C-alpha cells in the first residue's frame, strides 16, 4: 500500500505543532511525516518526530557525520520512547559553524551501526539522481542495502522520465520513497540547479499548476508500483500546492 509523507521543517516547535495539526485536519491521506536534521534550528529531527507521534508515522533524518563512534547513539532513547521505528540516514553536509563537531562517518557505516545496535529500526538511505552516473548510483544503492538499509528516499525529481529511468535501476525488493518538491521562483530554481545539480526538463515552468501536475503524476507513479511518495513543500501554502491531490 502506498504511503504518503510530507517533509516538514522544524523551524520552531510551536510552528511544527501547528503544521502537524493542519496536515492532520486537511490531508487525511498523509500517514507519515519526515523531518530533516538542520543545524540552524534547535529542534533535532527525532525531537520533531516525537511531536508527530502517535497521529503520524514519523521518519527522522539522521546525519552520519554527527554520530560519534565512541559514544552511544544520541537519539536511541527518543526513538524507543516515542515508538519511532524508521529513520533516514544521510551522510550530511559539513556545518558552516565550525563549533559543531562532526566525525569521519559515512552513510554506509552509520547504516551498519543502526543495524547492529537498533535492529528493530527500519533504515532508509538516500538516492541522489544528480550526483554521479547511473551506474555509480546503482552500485552505491546496492552497497547501502548490503549494509542494512531496507530502501531509499530520493532527492526530489523534476522530470518523470528521469524518475522512470531510476525506477528501472532500483534493486529488487528495495522500498522506495519518490520525492517531489515545488519550485515556483527563479531563486529556488537556481538553488536546486547550483546546490544539487538538479536537472529540469525542457517543458518545466515555475507555475504552481505545473508543480501540482508533477505532484499528481508522481503520486500516480508510486501507486502504480506499490511504492511511496513524499512531498517537500517549499515556501508555499500546502493547501494551494497539494489540495485536491492528496
The pLDDT tens digits of the residues spanning 43-59 come to 999 999 999 999 999 99
pLDDT digits over 137-183, tens only?
Answer: 999 999 999 999 999 999 999 999 999 999 999 999 999 999 999 99
Burial class of 34 by CB neighbour count within 10 A (0 to 12, 13 to 18, 19+): buried
Least confident of 10-24, 64-78, 95-109, 193-207: 95-109
The Cα diameter of the chain in Å comes to 50
Nearest to 232 by CA among 188, 192, 181: 181
**In the predicted structure, residue 15 carries a pLDDT above the cut 80:** yes
Give the pLDDT mean for 105-130. 97
Integer Cα distance of 167 and 126 in angstroms = 14
> SS3 helix, strand, coil % of the chain, rounded to 5?
40, 15, 45
Integer Cα distance of 149 and 220 in angstroms = 25
Nearest to 176 by CA among 135, 224, 211, 133: 224
Share of the chain above pLDDT 70, in %: 100
DSSP code, position 157? P
| Helices 13-26 and 45-52: angle between axes, nearest 10 degrees | 40
Give the pLDDT mean for 73-90. 97
State the pLDDT at residue 94.
77
- For residue 140, the Cα-to-chain-centroid distance in whole angstroms is 17
Burial class of 72 by CB neighbour count within 10 A (0 to 12, 13 to 18, 19+): exposed
pLDDT digits over 122-141, tens only?
Answer: 999 999 999 999 999 999 99
DSSP code, position 171? P
Integer Cα distance of 13 and 174 in angstroms = 33
State the pLDDT at residue 99.
72
Considering only residues 92 and 30, tell me which one the structure prediction assigns the higher pLDDT.
Answer: 30
| Three-state DSSP class for residue 36 | coil
8 A C-beta contact, residue 198 and residue 192: yes
Query: What pLDDT band is residue 93 in, cutting at 50, 70 and 90?
Result: confident
Nearest to 156 by CA among 166, 143, 170: 166
State the pLDDT at residue 227.
97
State the pLDDT at residue 204.
95
Share of the chain above pLDDT 90, in %: 92
Integer Cα distance of 108 and 123 in angstroms = 11
**In the predicted structure, residue 37 carries a pLDDT above the cut 80:** yes
Integer Cα distance of 196 and 239 in angstroms = 27
Q: What are the residues whose beta carbons fall under 8 Å from the beta carbon of 153, sequence distance 6 or more?
A: 34, 88, 124, 125, 126, 127, 177, 179, 230
State the pLDDT at residue 96.
73
Amino acid at each position: 500500500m502506498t504511503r504518503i509523507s510530507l517533509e516538514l521543517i522544524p523551524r520552531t516547535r510551536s510552528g511544527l505543532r501547528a503544521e502537524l495539526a493542519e496536515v492532520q485536519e486537511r490531508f487525511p491521506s498523509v500517514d507519515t511525516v519526515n523531518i530533516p536534521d538542520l543545524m540552524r534550528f534547535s529542534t533535532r529531527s527525532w525531537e520533531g518526530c516525537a511531536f508527530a507521534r502517535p497521529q503520524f508515522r514519523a521518519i527522522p533524518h539522521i546525519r552520519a557525520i554527527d554520530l560519534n563512534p565512541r559514544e552511544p547513539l544520541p537519539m536511541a532513547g527518543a526513538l524507543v520512547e516515542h515508538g519511532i521505528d524508521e529513520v533516514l540516514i544521510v551522510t550530511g553536509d559539513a556545518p558552516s559553524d565550525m563549533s559543531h563537531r562532526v566525525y569521519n562517518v559515512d552513510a554506509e557505516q552509520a547504516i551498519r551501526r543502526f543495524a547492529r545496535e537498533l535492529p528493530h529500526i527500519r533504515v532508509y538511505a538516500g538516492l541522489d539522481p544528480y550526483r554521479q552516473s547511473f551506474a555509480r548510483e546503482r552500485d552505491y544503492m546496492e552497497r547501502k542495502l548490503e549494509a542494512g538499509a531496507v530502501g531509499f528516499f530520493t532527492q526530489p525529481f523534476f522530470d518523470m522520465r528521469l524518475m522512470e529511468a531510476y525506477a528501472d535501476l532500483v534493486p529488487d525488493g528495495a522500498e522506495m520513497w519518490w520525492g517531489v518538491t515545488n519550485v515556483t521562483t527563479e531563486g529556488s530554481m537556481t538553488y536546486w540547479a547550483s546546490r544539487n545539480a538538479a536537472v529540469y526538463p525542457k517543458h518545466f515552468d515555475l507555475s504552481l499548476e505545473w508543480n501540482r501536475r508533477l505532484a499528481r503524476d508522481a503520486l500516480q507513479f508510486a501507486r502504480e508500483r506499490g511504492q511511496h511518495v513524499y512531498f517537500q513543500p517549499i515556501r508555499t501554502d500546502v493547501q494551494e500546492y497539494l489540495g485536491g491531490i492528496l
